Each structure stands twice: as structure tokens, then as C-alpha cells.
Structure 1
Amino acid sequence: MAAIHFHKISLRNFLSYGNNLTVIELDKPGTTLIVGENLDSTSHGVGANGVGKTTIINAITYALYDKPISDISKDKLVNNINEKNMEVSIEFSIEDTEYTIKRTRKMKAGAAGNNVYLFVNGEDKTLDSATNTNNKIEEIIGIPYELFVRIVVYFASHKPFLDLPKADQTIIFERLVGLTMLSDKATDLKGLIKEIEMHIQIKKTKLDMLVKEHERHNIQLSNAKDRMDRWEENQKIELQTLLDQRDVIENTNFDQQQTLHDELVIINEQLTHQVGLSEKINQRIREYKRSLDKEQKELVHLKDNKCPYCLQQYGDAEQKIETLEEHVLELDENITTNTEELTKISDIIDELEIAKRDVAKLITVPSLKELNALRTQANTLEAKIDTLEKSTNPHIDSYQELLVVDLEEIVYDEVNLLTKELKHQTFLLKLLTKKDSFVRKELLNKYIPYLNSQLHYYLQELGLPHHVVFTHEMTANISQFGKELDFGNLSAGQKARVNLALSLAFSDVLQRLHTKINICLLDEVLDFGLDAIGAKAAIRLLKQRAKDKDQSMFIISHRDEIGHVLDRTMIIQMSKGFSYINEQT
């Protein structure tokens, strides 16, 4: 754990200090009483307020943090008589590294006259802006302003810690025991998590695009193969058709086939003729049979001497019967003759059908049209077959090109690793941010007992019988003789003792946890609420602490009578509106 060792603070035209450079040595182990004399009021220096004692603390906090401990705007820090050329610089070291911070205001007109400079081992390391330089300085010191002004410097007029709102107490306490380190880590983790999530999203987007590219390529490859296969299949079918046609041509006797087709035409014509005759004879036979049936019925009625039409008595029936009987015989003979003729025609048709089947069996080319087409194709068929057999699939090249396309491999290893890392970092973030996480509890368990122990020690040394104990909820419980009290129940003197004890105990925790610091400045802690006994107890405690911790302790006070008790005295004199330092050992 590196220690911060402050060497000196230099002032020019800062508040009540004038144009002459004032240098205050800070590395003075032991106790130094700072008192004031106002020579502008009386020749004996009576009335020591406003002479520039607290200005030393303001200069230190302004130099380090760009803001004074008092409620003063930065332009009002410039000496109100000279009104320009303000300079404040502080020198300190951390291990073997020397630092100097210098701040100026109104060195020239406008903002250009207000500057901050950071020197490291004599080299100018000032950053590109005041904000960045200030952040760098606080990073180097490692102590936030809120802790510094309650622990390294102690301002009695500051609102007591236990009078602060609970939220403000928690913030200061968390910074003291390092819980803000967890918050800072959590902030860093959130940034890291966001970055990991962004990388995962980028990787996933790339993988999604890659998957789609692979899918698109596979579809193109499948379509190309289908086109290639379809072409091959169509070629086979077309070639086989041509080969079949060639076989037909080679095995075809065109003259014979022509003759057979001619014979088939004649047979079909004869069949058509005979079928037509057959239909006509059948028609005649049907007509003869209808007439025969009719006349036979008429004969039946005439033989009963009745008219065959009206069934009345018919007088001349004999003659009519004779005529009808002759006609019936004629019809019967006609039916017999036509039936015999029909039988002959049926035999002819059967013979023609047999002949047709026999001829059809010998025909290998179904029609004359096809036969003529084969004659025409015979000369070009071989050329077509040769062309087809030598033709190359036009889709092979595109298919081969797609086969050799070198697509980036789809690999999820990086996404899986990042996802695993994201889960890990998210888990860590929960550990850092949850109020009941074991990390927070571990830090509190580590430092709260030590804080309470130191606080108890200082309260005893200051002669206060009260107990002040901090809980793991970062709240303070005050009790006396077993009865709980509020901070408001304490008297002004008791509050002063508690405030001083808290500041010293907080300082112990800070230096144990973070950084050892060689200075401590206390402003009027002996002047508010402490009676003579309380002041003596406080002085005894502060002297022992300065000795034990080898600290340079500066105590601003109006109690001139304690000067002989402390190691040295620094007198701040006000003369003609300006402050000067008169040191006495």
C-alpha cells in the first residue's frame, strides 16, 4: 500500500495572501499549532479571525481537487486587492514518484488565464483538458474529495457526519470501506457486459448472415444439380427415342410396309362396303317382317269376315284373303332370300376381318404418315444421334463452380465463449450490486469491527462514556449505560468528541485500506464544544497519534494557551490586508 507524502504548499495572491510567494512546509512530523494575529485591528494582534489560517486548508483542497473546503467560488479565491496572478501549487510523492500540481487563475484575461498543470518527476503530464487532468489527479491521490475533507483535513464547522442524511452517510461510508470500489467495478462490468453483448450481437448477426449464405448456396447448388440431372434425363429420353426410330428404320421394309398399308386400305374399303350392304339388307328384312306381321293380322280378321281396320263386318272378304295370302307368301320368300344373302355377306365380313388382322400383324409402322416421316428422317437421324451423343451438359460448369465455392465455415465457438463470459460477468455484477452479496458482507466484516474498535478507543481517550457502534447496515447506534440514544441527545461537547473520534477512526480505516498519508489538518476542533478537560484530552490524544503515526499534524485554534503543549507554533499575521506566516519552534 503506497503512502502519500506531502511536502509543501505554495501560495501567491490566494485569498488573503499577497503577491509574495508564501511556502508552507507540510512535512513536519509532530504537532503544529496554527494561531492568528490581526495587526490591522490592534498592534497586539487581538482579534485573530479572518487572518488566513483556514486559507491553508482551502489551498490544499483547491490544489488537489479544484475546489476549496469553504463555500467560495473559484474566481473569489483570487486576492481581492491584487485581483490577478493567483497561483497555488502543492508538492507530494508516492513511493519514488514526485508530483507537483499547480493551479492558476487570472494570469491573463479570460479563460486562458485559468489553468491546471500536472508534473510527474519534473515532466509536464498535463492532459488535454482541465476535467481530464482533474480526474487524473484524483486517480493518483486515490481518495475522493468527500473523504479527504472529513479525514485528512477536519473542518469543525462542517456538518457532523451523524447529522447528514442517511443516504449521504451511506455514500461516505461506502467510499471509506471500499464499497464504492465495488460500484466502480460494477460500472466497469456494465461497460464490459455491454461490450460483450455488442460483440455477441455482431457475431450472431455475422453468423446469421453466414447461415443464410450457406442456405442460399445450398439452394443454388440443389437447383443447379436438378437442372443438370434434368438435362441428362431429357437427353437420355430424346436419344433413346432417336435410337428406337433408327431401329425401326433399320428393321423396316418400306415397300412391304407400303404394300401392306395399301392392302389394309383396300380391306378397310371392302369392309366398309360389305358392312353397308349388311345394314341395307337388315333394314329390308326388318321392313319385310313388319309388313308380314301386319298382313298376317289382317288375314286373321278377314277370316272372321271383319274389316281388319274397323273390325266391322266385311262383305268381300274372300277375294281380299286370297290377295293377302299371295302377298304373305311373297314376303316370306323375300325374307328368306335376303337372310341367305345376309349370311353370305357376314361370311365375307369375317373373312375381311381376318385378312385385316393378318395384314395389321405384319405392319410395324402404325400409319402411312409415320412411314413417310421415317423415310424423311432416315437421312438426318444419324446426324441427330451423333449430335446428341457428343453434346455436353451445359449446366455442369455452373454446378462445378458452385461446388468449389469456399464459404466461410459456420463456427459458434466464439459466440459460445462470449456467452459463457457474459454469464460469468453478469454473475459477478450481481455479486457487486446486490446488497446482501457475500462480497459486500466480506468487506464490511473486514473493516467494521476495526472501525468500531478504533472508535471505541478514541471515545475512551476523549473521556466520553458513550458507545458508538456501526452496524453492517452502515448505520451508527449510540448508547449509554445500555440505553439507545440519538445523536441529537448529545450535548455540544459530547458531539464534538464523537465527531473528532469519528474523524480519527475513519482516518485509520482509510489508511489501513487505501493509503497512508503523512499530514492531518484540524480546523478549530478544540474550540467548539470542548471544555478545558475535553480540550486537554483531545490534545493528549492528537499528540500521541501524531507520534505513533509519524504524522505532521496542524491544529488551527484560538486557544493560545495550548501553544506550549504542542511541538511548535505557526502564527498567521494579518497586516495591511495581507497574510504572512511567522513560524516559531
Structure 2
Amino acid sequence: MSVGNQTQAIDFNKDQLTLVLGENLDQGGDDTGSRNGTGKTTIINALSYALYGQALTNIKRNNLINKTNGKGMLVTLHFTIEGITYRIERGRGPNLLKFFINNQEQELIDESQGDSRKTQEDINKIISMCHDMFKHILALNTYTEPFLSMRTNDQKDIIEQLLGITILSEKAEKLKDQLRITKETITEEKIKINAIETANSKIEATIKNLQTTQKAWLSKKSEDIKKLQSGINELEQLDVDAELNFHEKLGKWSEHNNKITALKKELSTLEPALQRANKSVDKVSKDIAGLDNAICYACGQELHDDKKEEILSKKTKELDDAKLYAQEINVKLSTVVLDLEEIGDINKKPNTFYESIKEAYDHRSNVDNLKQSLLNKEEEQDPYEKQIEELKTEAIQEIDWAIINELDLFKEHQEFLFKLLTNKDSFIRKKIIEQNLSYLNNRLAG
């Protein structure tokens, strides 16, 4: 500071007032202005720095170091309160803070750059005065903003400290932190509930989809049961034994019918063939009978005997062949007629339910299979019911608003208390100020 290189010590421990004048020898050392620049303000700045770590004005802390040394600034303050001796050592270049109670150095907590907020709070409690109050009450000077020019909240702080009711602001600050925590807790609970509601909505949508699928499954099961029962009823109306007997008769009828059809077809072939064979026999017979009067077609004269013999021999052979062929046809025709007579007339074609006997034999197994399928279908378990029930009973979470309701009530209570502690029109503040007006007047008069 401006005291130069020499360590300066000032003792204010006197019953009377201590007047510090100073003497500036560079300006004559008299009362014509030589009292300025001697370091009087430095004494107050030293007190301010020792107690609070800052000067009266907004000067940078490093500018407190005198320019001659440029380092090693140290202020030591001894004081006694209620019989307890305190010592503060605070310096810059390097930064330093030591605090002694009854010559016992205190451990610094949260030390940062040679300072400690916790230690400073302890000092403020010991001297019961903040820096703003120090400037306005103890070290009032032209550099300090006038009280009436200060902001309302700053004035409130000074008045509260002056009246000793800072406990309201302290409680308000703590309550403010608690109120913030309560609001954060409410927000967290709302986020949890929103998450639960979102999850429940998704689960409910899943349940709805499963119920739709379940409804379709149950409908199909019912239709399948009806179809199977209808098929069983229809099949059971058929007499299987009679159906098999009809199929046996149908087999014989088909066999006879096929034979008759084949014989009739053969008969339709043999009859015309027999007619042609008989005509051939008749024609050849006529040719042989007409040889006696036969004439040559070229000259018109009667044929010679040798020529007749030749033609007769040829025609005789033709006649024998024609008769033999006609005899063979006649035998075949007789056989076909006998076969037809042996078969006789067949009854009307038997009427069957199935087209083949195999289907008739499969009828019984079809009925049994349908009955087993019906039993299996009826015993089928609903694959969706268990899923839906589990989602309803286990997956969907119950939403409990009790915590948020309690927190909301608690928050409203905290906000009400906070207003009582901070509102200038609060009846608590007014009551305290009214009760302490006489105390304030006594202090101002003293």
C-alpha cells in the first residue's frame, strides 16, 4: 500500500477517539494541504482488506500492492471480542490467509487461490457485520454509494443486519434452495408418471390388438366346430353297410352290363356278316346251276365240256369256302345268342352315395377323423387370453399421484413461507421492524 517499504502498526485499542492526521513533508508538512496523500485511507482499506479480503472501492486487489515493492503485501489485524483474541493475516503476492483464535491457527476449508469462503463466513459471523455494512457504518466515505441511492434489496440487507434480523433472509435463502429441490422432485415425479403413462398406453394398444386377434381366433374356432359337426351329421346319416352292399351289386351289374354291351356289339357285327355269307353261298350255287346252259360271252356259243369242268371245279371250291365261312359265322352268332340268353335281363343300376367302393370303405375312418378333429378343436386353448391377462395384471403399472399431491401441498406451503420471509409487506417483517424501531433509534443516537 502507500505506506512504502516500512511496516506500519496502528493501535486503535484506546478508550478515547484516535485521530489520524498524517504529515506530507513533500507538501510542506502543515495544514495547507499537506495532510493529503499520507495514507489515512490506506488504514481503512487495510482494515477492510484484512477483514473481508477486499478494499472499500472496486479497485483491483493486485493494485493494492504498493508500486515500490510490487509484491509481499501483508496486513495483520488483532482484535478481541467477548474475551476471545483473534488474528487475521491476509496478503497478496503471494496470496495468503491465516486465521487465529486465541493464537491457534484455524484450518482453512475450501481453500482456493489463498482464500477460503468458509473461513470468510466464519469471520463475518464473529464480527456480525458484512462488507456493505462495514462500508456504510464503520468506514463511511465519499467512495461508498449513499444508502438512499442503493437498490431496495441492498437497503433491506443493511437494515436487516442493522436490526439483527438477517435470520429472515438466511432462512429465505435456505427455503429457496429447499423450494427448488421440491420443484425438481415434482418434475422428476411427473417425468416418471409420464413415462408410466406412455408405457401403459403402449401396453393398452398391445392389449387391444391382442383382443382383436383373439376375437378373430375365437370366431374361426366356432366356424370350424360348426363345419366339423355338420360334416359328422351328414356322414352319420349314411348307412355304410348298405352303401358297401350297393357297391358290390354295382360291381356285378357293371360286369354284366359290360358283357352284354360287348356281346351286343359282337352280335351287331356277326348278323350282317352271316347275311353276306349266305348271299355268297346262294350266288355261287346259282352260278353252278347255270353251267349247264352257259354260253361264251365272247362268241355267244355254248361252252365246251372241258371249260365247264374247269369253271365247275372253281365254283365248287368257292361254294365250299362260302358255306364254311357261313357256318363259322353262324356258330359264333349262336354262341353270342346263348351267352345273352344265359345272362338274361339285368336289374336297374344300383344307386350309391360314393363313386367308388374305396370311398365307402373310407367313410368310417372319415367319421372317426372328423370326430377326433372336432374334439381337438373344442379342446384348443385360447393362446391370447393368458397374454392379455398378464399384460393387464403385471405389465400395466398403477399411477400413484399421492406423492405429487403431497409435494404440491408442501411446495405451496414453502412458497407461502417464502413470501412471508421476503415480501416487504409481510406482517412478520413489519412486526419485527416495529419491535426494533426503539433499538434502531438507540443505535443511531449512540
One-letter amino acid matched to 1:137: Q
| Counterpart-to-counterpart distance in 1, 2:92 and 2:2 | 12
| Counterpart-to-counterpart distance in 2, 1:245 and 1:197 | 71
Q: Which residue of 2 aligns with 1:216?
A: 202
Q: 1:441 aligns with which of 396, 412, 430?
A: 430
Q: 1:254-293 counterparts in 2 under 5 A?
A: none
User: Does the aligned pair in 2 maintain the 1:200–1:418 contact within 8 Å?
Assistant: yes
Q: Using structure 2 for the length normalisation, give the TM-score.
A: 0.58
The answer to whether residue 407 in structure 2 is matched with residue 418 in structure 1 is: yes
**Change over 3 Å in CA distance of 1:248–1:446 after alignment to 2:** same
C-alpha distance after superposition, 1:152-199 (max 9, x if no partner): x24465679577568575663354336765455445444443332232
| Counterpart-to-counterpart distance in 2, 1:71 and 1:204 | 46
The answer to whether residue 77 in structure 2 is matched with residue 74 in structure 1 is: no
Question: Structure 1: 5+ residue runs without aligned partners?
Answer: 1-13, 107-112, 260-366, 459-503, 505-585
**Change over 3 Å in CA distance of 1:248–1:445 after alignment to 2:** same
CA offset at residue 396 of structure 1?
4.9
Give secondary structure in 1 for the equivalent of 2:412: helix
Q: 2:112 aligns with which of 125, 129, 134?
A: 129
Q: Give % identity.
A: 26
Q: 2:15 aligns with which of 6, 19, 30?
A: 30
Q: 1:554-565 counterparts in 2 under 5 A?
A: none
Moved more, 386-395 or 92-101: 92-101
| Counterpart-to-counterpart distance in 2, 1:427 and 1:163 | 30
One-letter amino acid matched to 1:125: L
| Counterpart-to-counterpart distance in 1, 2:19 and 2:389 | 94
One-letter amino acid matched to 2:412: K
The answer to whether residue 50 in structure 2 is matched with residue 63 in structure 1 is: yes
Q: 1:330-341 counterparts in 2 under 5 A?
A: none
**Change over 3 Å in CA distance of 1:203–1:96 after alignment to 2:** farther
| Counterpart-to-counterpart distance in 2, 1:207 and 1:71 | 51
CA offset at residue 441 of structure 1?
0.8
Q: Which residue of 1 aligns with 2:333?
A: none
Q: 1:142-221 counterparts in 2 under 5 A?
A: 142=125, 143-151=129-137, 153-155=138-140, 164=149, 167=152, 172-177=158-163, 182-183=168-169, 185-221=171-207
Q: Which residue of 1 aligns with 2:90?
A: 103
**Change over 3 Å in CA distance of 1:399–1:178 after alignment to 2:** same
CA offset at residue 420 of structure 1?
0.8
CA offset at residue 16 of structure 1?
0.4
Give secondary structure in 1 for the equivalent of 2:18: strand
CA offset at residue 104 of structure 1?
2.1
CA offset at residue 415 of structure 1?
0.7
CA offset at residue 144 of structure 1?
2.0
| Counterpart-to-counterpart distance in 2, 1:375 and 1:229 | 39
User: Does the aligned pair in 2 maintain the 1:37–1:51 contact within 8 Å?
Assistant: yes
Q: 1:243-262 counterparts in 2 under 5 A?
A: 243-253=229-239
Q: 1:86 aligns with which of 64, 68, 73?
A: 73
| Counterpart-to-counterpart distance in 1, 2:60 and 2:172 | 34
The structure, 1 or 2, with the larger RCO (C-alpha pairs under 8 Å, 6+ apart) is: 1
C-alpha distance after superposition, 1:233-278 (max 9, x if no partner): 533442343234223322333668x99xxxxxxxxxxxxxxxxxxx
Residue-pair matches, total = 327
| Counterpart-to-counterpart distance in 1, 2:84 and 2:95 | 26
User: Does the aligned pair in 1 maintain the 2:20–2:40 contact within 8 Å?
Assistant: yes
Which protein is bigger by CA-based radius of gyration? 2
Q: Which residue of 2 aligns with 1:267?
A: none
Q: 1:363-382 counterparts in 2 under 5 A?
A: 379-382=365-368
State the superposition RMSD in angstroms: 4.5
Q: Using structure 1 for the length normalisation, give the TM-score.
A: 0.46
| Counterpart-to-counterpart distance in 2, 1:83 and 1:68 | 17
Give secondary structure in 1 for the equivalent of 2:75: strand
**Change over 3 Å in CA distance of 1:237–1:193 after alignment to 2:** same
